[in-house]
Amino acid sequence: MDLLLEQENISCRLTDLGVYNIVVSDGSPVIEVAKRDVKGRHGFIHDGVRFSHKSIKVTGRLMVSSIREFHRKRDELNGLLFTDRPFYITKLVPLVDSLYQFELPGQRTGDFPTSQTSSNRPWHYRYLVLMDSEIEFSFIGRSTAGLKYDVRLSFVTAESPFGETAAKTQSLSGGVFPYKGTAEASQLETPFVVELVATGGQTHFYLEIDGRRWTYEHGVTNQAGDKYLISALGTTLNGNSVTARTNYNYFVIRPNQLQEIPYRTDFRGSIRLLDFKEFYR
């Protein structure tokens, strides 16, 4: 495995920094259950659930030629990873599983070869993170190749507790569109925008996505090329707010086993989801 680091002007792999034999452990997000108790009543009243954050643990090995090289490498890692701005990390998964093939105890010695990193490919989602604690270095010993250290990194999600795909534009047609995520995508939490571009001739119309219906009504007929943008903050028409002409609704995309989200509309024109992401628990 490997880890891709993406900051504002930097994109590199952890192996580029000299770390190898990497294992990335991204478990489940931390869940917080809200509950209330009522006097004279057994148990609790369920009052909602929220996912607060997720921790991502990374372990690897570092080999350096001297103690001076070790301190230089530690400064390099600290300088890159400890920042006041969140950055993206993506686990890189090997295309082949030769690393995990069965072998007898003692059949091989030493480290696994680092040449396997070329077969790693990015996973389909990433995390926006910050460092959660200092980098841990544990000295293993010296060999003919140099000094060896075990390295441990700990990240925590900075905003959303979920993994997220890169933002994309999703056109709507045919009554359904794909959503492979395992967590909800709500306009209240992720700022995706629904764009409607009219062909003209309508005073009122609706758009229903996954059971939530947004409506628009006005006494003046719209014109070809009119652009409506629907977000959690309201609706604009050609850059001007027209939220008062709507029912003030917003959209929530919920995952399902079919990985397809139904929608209905009587709008005449094109519909797209802008800056749309899929989220994974």
Confidence of residue 94 (pLDDT cuts 50, 70, 90): confident
Confidence of residue 40 (pLDDT cuts 50, 70, 90): confident
Give the residue among 14, 156, 129 at the shortest CA–CA distance from 73.
14
Residues 193, 267, single domain; the answer is yes
Is residue 112 over pLDDT 80? no
The least confident of 17-21, 51-55, 142-146 is 142-146
- Residue 128 has a pLDDT of 98
CA dist 146 and 158 (Å) reads: 36
Contact 212, 250 (CB under 8 A): yes
- Residue 103 has a pLDDT of 62
Is residue 110 over pLDDT 90? no
Which pair of structure tokens corresponds to residue 212? 């939530």
- 262-272 pLDDT tens trace: 999 999 999 99
Is residue 178 over pLDDT 80? yes
Contact 29, 45 (CB under 8 A): no
Mean pLDDT of 253-266: 97
Is residue 14 over pLDDT 70? yes
Mean pLDDT of 104-112: 61
Residues 194, 252, single domain; the answer is yes
Residues 92, 125, single domain; the answer is yes
Structure-model confidence comparison of residues 21 and 103, the more confident one: 21
Residues 89, 27, single domain; the answer is yes
Report yes or no on whether pTM surpasses 0.85: yes
- Residue 35 has a pLDDT of 87
Instruction: Check which CATH number belongs to the domain holding 12 and give it.
Output: 2.40.30.200
What sign does the CA torsion over 106, 24, 13, 179 have?
positive
Q: Number of folded domains in the chain?
A: 2
Element (H, E) at 71: helix 67-81
Residues 6, 134, single domain; the answer is yes
Q: Is 150 exposed, middle or buried (0-12, 13-18, 19+ CB in 10 A)?
A: middle
Mean pLDDT of 40-54: 89
Residue ending a domain, among 121, 140, 157, is 157
Residues spanned by the domain of 35: 2-157
Residues 213, 117, single domain; the answer is no
- Phi, psi (rounded to 5 degrees) for 16: -65, -20
Give the residue among 265, 264, 233, 263 at the shortest CA–CA distance from 249.
233
Element (H, E) at 213: strand 212-217
Which pair of structure tokens corresponds to residue 135? 């980098």
Is residue 194 over pLDDT 80? yes
Residues 99, 20, single domain; the answer is yes
Helix (H, G, I), strand (E, B) or coil at 114: helix
Give the residue among 160, 214, 161 at the shortest CA–CA distance from 190.
160
Contact 193, 231 (CB under 8 A): yes
Structure-model confidence comparison of residues 41 and 254, the more confident one: 254
Residues 52, 144, single domain; the answer is yes
Residues 146, 50, single domain; the answer is yes
CA dist 207 and 216 (Å) reads: 9
**How much of the chain, in percent, has pLDDT values that exceed 90?**
81
Contact 188, 212 (CB under 8 A): no
- Residue 100 has a pLDDT of 56
- Residue 41 has a pLDDT of 85
Give the residue among 90, 111, 119, 121 at the shortest CA–CA distance from 24.
90
Pairing between β-strand 176-178 and β-strand 260-265 as defined by DSSP bridges: antiparallel
Residues 170, 148, single domain; the answer is no
Residues 111, 245, single domain; the answer is no
Instruction: Check which CATH number belongs to the domain holding 247 and give it.
Output: 2.60.120.860
Mean pLDDT of 8-27: 93
Residues 145, 249, single domain; the answer is no
